Chains A and B, each alone.
Chain A
């Protein structure tokens, strides 16, 4: 028989009391795990939104500005115009982007890394309505606009084909198979996009080579979207690299926008963690209280143990073992309860966020719970050892 057998047997005898003591820890651990799980889901959602931004970098001519319209509808200003980027610069842009990604992530592969999607914007008229025709590299554009969904027909292919934004198709009353005339060239509508809630809805997409030929813009593009392959990619460095080495263009890292959003998220996380910390402290007080009661309940047992040779350290050890068991129970149930709370509350906090249990929070929950349980037990345990043995019997 070992000391922990003694503690285990004692705990089994006092199941209800021990569970009550564990309840304080459960609530504390539940709050911490719940908050962290919700925060993780929120972060994942924001990352997913960042993905939806598509390009991590936007390269435009150094000076350009144009108002975007569809019919009488003003769609704000778009940074295009008479200034263009020569297609030859695409190679330099790729070299800088890929080079920097390779350097920062330690990739030695020779292939293309970043997706580089050049665009040509042309204000044109279709069925007497002015709209924006966008020349794109079909494959690159698809890689960048992962959220694009085809409502009808199929995705854009090289050739005299067009892909319409949802609003464009509706306003111009165009369907799959219809033809439109772009500067006199007959283009067949082969696909219509689902509504995306962005300016894409009002545009018409045509392979860039066709648009360049039709409007006499061979060898030039209006802007370039660059998508690095990861969230950790050094987009600011790439932007700086492009701005310093390529004249006539301006690169903007989209991540800068995202970062302010992440900063806000981090502040909220900190606030929620502070809240969790306070709950943890309150939980600890609850445990101290229950442990005090537990000590009082066992004054006689402690007296007996000391009368038959238990040292103060052994009594404290017995209480610490009990604390560890309470901590383990509290940690496990707190993790489960916290995860369940996150599943219920999470979607209310971050609309539409997918809550997933985070297994790494189980050891965290266990560690926190055991830590709090031991800390809260230390004082009652110390008290237990200061009771005089004769008093412990007399008090009965």
Chain B
């Protein structure tokens, strides 16, 4: 469903030039759960950003469901973000002025499907176990609860792919594990997930892990043994 061909991304010019992605190619099938690992500055987040159109490629292609999306204009990218791809961030990125329920409704509001939304938000909050917290503001929720709300917001539009950038980075181990099992559950239901992490234990929840270093994929392993590659930090 997702094909990344020779993705190339540079920041800056001249001496300040940084190659964030250096001809990265990746194939993602429906139902894949891929962890992206690597040291800081290896291009993990850039990879997620260019897949979702939050950042532009300097070269190469991103093809989603047969459609090239790296060269789409802003309006077309908006449509992709409204339907096919959703994000989960390390910092949760909830709007602090809205309640948990309203944050979940946000994608529906922008999509313009308001009528069914209240029920849908309630359903999703129930699925992730936060139906009683719907009227709470983000600051009244724990980190794990906020991340659950962010996940609920990501899946409210039924996307086919979730891009998660260090989704457990700010959470303690137990809460992180809960979030990851939520991801696993969503993945079993058919949702594709690409998750950036620097934590091998987190990556172990994915079905496949790719390792980036200096913008290059240096290794990829199927997660059958569910253990991280000891050579990779």
- Which of A21-29, A83-91, A299-307 touches B? A299-307
Q: Specify which of B54, B82, B153 is in contact with A389 (CB 8 Å cutoff).
A: B54
Complex interface: chain A residues within 8 A of B49 (CB): 389-390
Give Cα A1 to B86, complex, Å: 20
Within 8 A of A (CB), among B55-103: 55-56, 74-75, 78, 81-82, 86-87, 89, 91, 93-98, 102
A-B contact number at CB 8 A = 78
Stretch at the interface among B30-38, B107-115, B192-200, B206-214: B107-115
Asked if B202 CB lies within 8 Å of chain A CBs, one says no
> Contact at B96–A309, with CB atoms within 8 Å?
no
Interface size in chain B (residues, C-beta < 8 A): 31
Residue of chain B at shortest CB distance from A13: B97
> Counting CB contacts under 8 A, is A6 at the interface?
yes
Whether the Cβ atoms of A308 and B55 lie closer than 8 Å is no
* CB <8 Å contact, B89 and A310: no
Q: Report the Cα distance A314→B106, complex, angstroms.
A: 12
Cβ of B117 < 8 Å from any Cβ of A?
yes
- A10 interface residue per 8 A CB criterion: yes
In terms of DSSP, what is the predominant structure of the interface of chain A?
Answer: helix
Nearest-neighbour CB distance to chain B for A173, whole angstroms, equals 85
Inside 8 A of A309's CB, which chain B residues have their CB? Answer: 78, 81-82, 106-107, 110-111, 157
| Contact string against A for B residues 20-59, beta-carbon threshold 8 Å, 1 for contact and 0 otherwise | 0000000000000000000000000000010010111000
> Taking the complex as formed, is A3 at the interface, i.e. its CB lies under 8 A from any CB of chain B?
yes
Q: Give chain A's interface residue range (CB within 8 Å of chain B).
A: 20 to 34
Contact B102 A312 (CB under 8 A): no
A147 beta carbon closer than 8 Å to chain B: no
B55 touches A310 (CB 8 A): no
Given contacts A1-B117, A9-B97, A393-B89, contact A307 B54 (CB under 8 A): yes
Bound complex: CA A188 to CA B86 (Å): 104
Chain A residues in 8 Å Cβ range of B54? 307, 388-390
Q: Which 8 A-B pairs have the closest CB atoms?
A: A309-B82, A13-B97, A309-B110, A390-B55, A389-B54, A390-B54, A9-B97, A390-B49
Query: Could you list some 28 contacts between A and B, CB below 8 A?
Result: A1-B102, A1-B105, A1-B117, A6-B95, A6-B98, A9-B98, A10-B95, A304-B94, A304-B95, A305-B95, A305-B106, A305-B110, A306-B81, A307-B89, A308-B87, A308-B107, A308-B153, A309-B107, A309-B110, A310-B78, A311-B78, A312-B78, A314-B110, A388-B54, A388-B56, A389-B55, A393-B89, A396-B91
